Chain A
Amino acid sequence: MSWAWFHRFASPPYFYSLTLRLAPWLGWPAGLLIVGGLYGGLVLAPPDYQQSDAFRIVYVHAPAAWVSLMSYSLMAFAAAVGLIWRMKVAHAVAAACAPVGASITAVCLVTGMLWGQPMWGTYWAWDPRLVFELVLLFFFLGYMGLRSAIDDVSRADRASAVLAVVGVVNVPIVHFSVTWWNSLHQAPSVMRMQEAAMPASMLVPLLMSFLGFTLYFYAVMLVRARAEVLRRDRGGSWVRDVLAARGKAA
């Protein structure tokens, strides 16, 4: 097996141009899927027989929850690759994941509270699922805080990467919390082994939303990663070329 692709990804100029080409191809479909999913979920889908129209919060809450776990896993993976192979591009990806992942985790928590109040009669409960999702947010914020406390970029990369990798134990805890403990939170309705527990008119918009949020995350993360790569490789001659090309285009 050839490792050429690995070395190519590790090359800042290659990565920079890759993000430039890839981001629009992820971002525009993401926008269309999110708008389509919300239209299907808020307008077309029938009301839930138990939760009436309150269940429609699922179309923003569940994709946000998925992205919160996916983005942390990717951040920890990229941080580990950066630590092991001392790869600047991987650290750039990890650093780019954090602010997007943190804000989406906050969205998951707040939309969950807005769903909890009418369904459970309380915005917040000290319930395993809720508490560990909050811990996830704290890991994101801790990662960002640690980075901003260290001026030297490569030292910040290494220190924050250790924190990111340690925090990844929390990801399966969040995911399985509703199975391991007797949680107030409802069990998953989509991602389970048997068929999904809802009709197609509810499920299709939800799957569109999931895919849309996922593509959206990668699009925004890659734009941020482009800036992070530039920040880490100021001396490279490719930076001069990239900035010159950009100046001509603008």
Chain B
Amino acid sequence: MREFLDMSGYAAYVWPSVGLTLAVLLANVYWARRLVRSAQAEARRRLASGAQS
């Protein structure tokens, strides 16, 4: 296990690469969902204000 984590001395390059990539992939999923929620909320507000006038 220690040998695996050490990556023959390249741990300082391999693990940050993998970690950064996974972090960005997950962040993109979160940002995309947040964008949909905000677009839906905005559309709802528009429909509501349109119905009143």
Contact = CB atoms under 8 A, between A and B. Distances in A.
Contact of B13 (A43, A107, A117, A243): A117
A111 B39 contact: no
A231 B42 contact: yes
A53 interface: yes
Interface string A153-170: 000000000000000000
A99 B34 CA distance: 13
Nearest to B27: A103
Given A115-B13, A226-B36, A227-B39, A110 B8 contact: no
Interface in B20-45: 20-21, 24-25, 27-29, 31-33, 35-36, 38-40, 42-44
A228 B21 CA distance: 25
Contact of B16 (A114, A223, A246): A114
A61 interface: yes
B17 A99 contact: no
B35 A111 contact: no
A117 B17 CA distance: 12
Contacts of A43: 4
Best-buried of A53, A61, A220, A223 by chain B (most CB within 10 Å): A53
A114 B27 CA distance: 21
Given A107-B20, A227-B36, A56 B29 contact: no
Contacts of B31: 99
Interface in A204-240: 216, 220, 223-224, 226-228, 230-231, 234, 239-240
Nearest to B4: A43
Nearest to B35: A227
A186 interface: no
A173 interface: no
A148 to B, nearest CB: 13
A103 B28 contact: yes
B41 to A, nearest CB: 10
By Cβ-Cβ distance, the 8 closest A-B pairs, closest first, are A227-B39, A53-B7, A60-B21, A223-B32, A54-B10, A111-B17, A227-B35, A230-B39
Interface of A: 27, 34, 38, 42-43, 47, 52-54, 56-57, 59-61, 64, 99-100, 103-104, 106-107, 110-111, 114-115, 117-118, 216, 220, 223-224, 226-228, 230-231, 234, 239-240, 243, 246
